[in-house]
Chain A
Amino acid sequence: SAVISQKPSRDICQRGTSLTIQCQVDSQVTMMFWYRQQPGQSLTLIATANQGSEATYESGFVIDKFPISRPNLTFSTLTVSNMSPEDSSIYLCSVVDTSTDTQYFGPGTRLTVL
């Protein structure tokens, strides 16, 4: 199984600022995803970040708001830009182990925007 770490684990930010969340995997993976879990809600897919290609965003999410980098097969970043209180959520990174068709999740980054 893949072991995923995220930094920071939590942060409190002021509105209008940006935060970059890092995701590190202990093995090389092609497919990586970013999800958002708003307070009391389920998980919603933000974007797919595959190495060697531009991130693809789900409906309702745009690159200007959530720019993603995927410089190699073990690392990705998600930036939450120009934050507002509505961006307060847990952001989770996930990867797929294609050999077992199993998706693993990181511990999440809990973001609070004041």
Chain B
Amino acid sequence: AQSVTQPDIHITVSEGASLELRCNYSYGATPYLFWYVQSPGQGLQLLLKYFSGDTLVQGIKGFEAEFKRSQSSFNLRKPSVHWSDAAEYFCAVGPHNAGGTSYGKLTFGQGTILTVHP
């Protein structure tokens, strides 16, 4: 069964500092990997996704993530955090096979709450 682990429940950084949020996954086949952000009272917004190809993917709001198959990781990074980045971040994994019975069924990590200090 697939699973996603986000080891850090809560991270605090200063504005302007760099950020790395960790995500490890367990999946029996080639996964689709996603990072979503959830601001208070808001739905989930897709930051970026990895399907195949270049293992470093760029997303919105200056975020990037690197897929490392050997480590089963998909860590999210941002070189300089802004106060508006304070939110909860979810890593998710989904099946690769479009049209399969599990297509679109995402498994989410527990989330990492990011606090940004001025």
Residues 82-118 of B, flagged 1 when their CB comes within 8 A of A and 0 if not, give 0000000010101000100001111011110000000
The docked-state distance in angstroms from the alpha carbon of A103 to that of B92 is: 11
Which of the candidate stretches A14-22, A40-48, A73-81 sits at the interface with the other chain? Answer: A40-48
Q: Which 10 A-B pairs have the closest CB atoms?
A: A107-B43, A105-B44, A96-B104, A42-B108, A43-B108, A105-B43, A42-B110, A31-B104, A108-B43, A106-B43
Q: Is B63 close to A, CB under 8 A? A: no
- The interface residues of chain B lying within 8 Å CB-to-CB of A43 are 44, 90, 92, 106, 108
Q: Give the contacts of A9-48 with B (CB-CB under 8 A).
A: 31, 33, 41-45, 48
Between A and B, 6 residue pairs with Cβ closer than 8 Å are A41-B110, A42-B110, A44-B108, A94-B44, A102-B46, A106-B43
Q: Tell me the B residues contacting A by CB distance below 8 Å.
A: 32, 34, 36, 42-46, 49, 51, 90, 92, 94, 98, 103-106, 108-111
Q: Is the CB–CB distance between A102 and B49 below 8 Å?
A: yes
Count of interface residues, chain A, beta-carbon cutoff 8 Å: 22
The docked-state distance in angstroms from the alpha carbon of A85 to that of B105 is: 26
